[in-house]
Amino acid sequence: MLREDIVESLLGKTTQKKKSRIPAKLDFLQSATGLILAIFIILHLLFESSILLGKDSMYALTKMFELDFFIKGGSSIFISILAFIIFAIFIFHAFLAMRKFPNSYREYLRLKTHAKLMKHKDTNLWIIQITTGFMLFFLGSIHLYIVLTEPQNIGPFASSDRIYSDTFYPLYFMLLISVVLHAGVGVYRLIMKWGWFDGKNPKENRVKTRKIVKAITIFYLVLGLFSLMAYIKIGYDHQKHYGERYTPNMEIKNEN
């Protein structure tokens, strides 16, 4: 049973009024923007983990995003442009998702009780998705605003200084957990909704899909946590040189 059906049956509403095509269109747009953002996050966390291969790797990737192969030395304006596009999709996706939030606290409580009584896995997943989605409104916006307005402050030292010395690690920790769970549950629900991998045996394939999405979600959580720890370690070692920018092959002048 879909979440909308549950809410409607709980509230005694009926869908058999006027048939409008708008909800279906909005639903499609929500799925499409969600998919774009999920693909972006999958790639983003992989690129971000380049720090695990060393500072030179992360530096080279940052320069690539500044299009240094196109403009001599690169320009951080390209990072701002990308951040602006992602921010616009993020806001539009959140706006569309607002339709699906419970309209009142009472509705939310009824839904929670219902999920508990039924032990309905998909309803529980939906609760994870609105909770993490709500957190992303704030955490995602802070992060996106910073990369949009300070694109020059991205790099092995600049990012690590922000994470350690500017105390951004609690924010990134919460952002990582919420975005990975949100994207994992979101992609799983998309696959179920549109029946992408149903094949000839939907029941069996859905169980398999669930396991695969769960494994990928755990992989990304672990990868993100290791990357975050690498940034914290570099930031800790670099704290006395806060503000200094990284250049390839340079050594940290560790005075500790």
H or E element that contains 186: helix 169-194
Binding mask 137-176 for ligand HEM (x = CB under 6 A): ---x--xx--x------x----x--xx--------x--xx
Closer Cβ to ligand HEM, 210 or 245, answer by number = 245
- Nearer to ligand HEM among residue 6 and residue 158 (C-beta): 158
Question: What CA–CA distance (Å, rounded) separates 79 from 143?
Answer: 13
How far is 111 from 133, CA to CA, in rounded Å? 17
**In terms of Cα–Cα distance, which of 194, 183, 193 is closest to 217?**
183
Q: Does 58 bind ligand HEM (CB under 6 A)?
A: no
Is 36 a binding residue for ligand HEM by CB under 6 A? The answer is no
Q: Is 14 exposed, middle or buried (0-12, 13-18, 19+ CB in 10 A)?
A: exposed
Q: What is the DSSP string of 229-256?
A: HHHHHHHHHHGGGTTPPP-TTPPP----
Would you say 111 or 181 has its CB closer to ligand HEM? Answer: 181
Q: How far is the CB of 175 from ligand HEM (least distance, A)?
A: 4
For residue 197 the two structure tokens come to 């991998």
Kindly state the smallest distance separating residue 227's Cβ from ligand HEM, in Å: 3
Contact code string over 67-86 relative to ligand HEM, x by CB under 6 A: ------------x--xx--x
187 lines the binding site for ligand HEM (CB under 6 A): no
Which range touches ligand HEM (CB under 6 A), out of 96-104, 118-126, 223-231, 239-247?
Answer: 223-231
Establish if 90 lies at the interface with ligand HEM (CB under 6 A).
Answer: yes
The tokens describing 194, both together, are 């549109």
Please identify the residue of the shown chain whose CB is closest to the bound ligand HEM.
Answer: 159
Of 196, 205, 87, which Cα lies nearest the Cα of 147? 87
Q: Which two tokens stand for residue 34?
A: 């969600």
Minimum distance from CB of 162 to ligand HEM (Å)? Answer: 5
**Is 111 or 139 the residue whose CB approaches ligand HEM more closely?**
139
How far is Cα 90 from Cα 96, in angstroms, rounded to an integer? 10
User: Are the C-beta atoms of residues 254 and 233 closer than 8 Å to each other?
Assistant: no
In angstroms, what is the minimal distance from the CB of 214 to ligand HEM?
19
Q: Which is nearer to ligand HEM, 7 or 52 (CB)?
A: 52
Which conformational region is residue 253 in: left (phi greater than 0), alpha (psi within -120 to 50 degrees), or beta? beta
Q: Applying CB under 6 A, which residues contact ligand HEM?
A: 41, 44-45, 48, 79, 82-83, 86, 90, 136, 140, 143-144, 147, 154, 159, 162-163, 172, 175-176, 179, 224, 227-228
